[in-house]
Structure 1
Amino acid sequence: MITIKHVKKILFVVIGLISFSIGVAGTILPVLPGGPFYLIAAFCFTKSSERLDNWFKSTKAYDKYVVGFRENRGMTLKEKIRINLIADFFIVLSLFLVDILFVQLIIVALGLYKHYYFIKKIKTI
Structure 2
Amino acid sequence: MIIIKKLKSILFFLLGTIALGFGIAGIVLPVLPGGPFLLIAFFCYAKSSKRMEAWFQSTTFYKKYVLALKENRGMTLKEKIRINIIADAFILFSVFYIDILLVKIVLIVLGLIKHYYFIKKIKTITPEQAQGLKNQA
TM beyond 0.5:
yes
Distance 1:41 1:81, change over 3 A: same
Structure 2, unaligned stretches of length 5 or more?
126-137
Instruction: State the shift of 1:3 in Å.
Output: 3.1
Matches within 5 A, 1:31-50: 31-50=31-50
> Residue 103 of structure 1: CA displacement?
2.1
Structure 1 residues 86-123: Cα deviation after superposition (integer angstroms, max 9, x where no partner): 21122222222223322222221221111122122222
Percent of aligned positions that are identical? 63
Q: Which runs of 4+ in 1 moved over 4 A?
A: none
Specify the alignment match of 1:66 in structure 2: 66
- Please tell me whether residue 107 in structure 1 is matched to residue 112 in structure 2: no
**Which residue of the partner structure matches residue 23 of structure 2?**
23
Q: Match of 2:52?
A: 52
2:129 maps to none
> SS of 1:3's equivalent?
helix
Deviations 1:17-66 (A, max 9, x none): 23222222322333342112211211221221344334323433222211
Decide which moves more: 115-124 or 70-79. Answer: 70-79
CA distance in 2, matches of 1:113, 1:72: 19
Give the whole-Å Cα distance in 2 for the aligned partners of 1:109 and 1:6.
41
Aligned counterparts of 2:97 and 2:25: Cα–Cα separation in 1: 22
Helix, strand or coil at the partner of 2:99: coil
Q: Structure 1 residues 121, 9: closer, same or farther in 2, change over 3 A? A: same
Is 2:4 the counterpart of 1:4?
Answer: yes
- Counterpart CA distance in 2 for 1:3 and 1:108 is 45
Following the alignment from structure 1 to structure 2, what is the Cα–Cα distance between the partners of residues 22 and 110? Answer: 22
* Counterpart-to-counterpart distance in 1, 2:18 and 2:34: 12
User: Take 1:109 and 1:29, find their aligned partners in 2: how far apart are those partners?
Assistant: 26
What one-letter code is carried by the residue in structure 2 that aligns with 1:115? H
In structure 2, the partner of 1:86 is 86
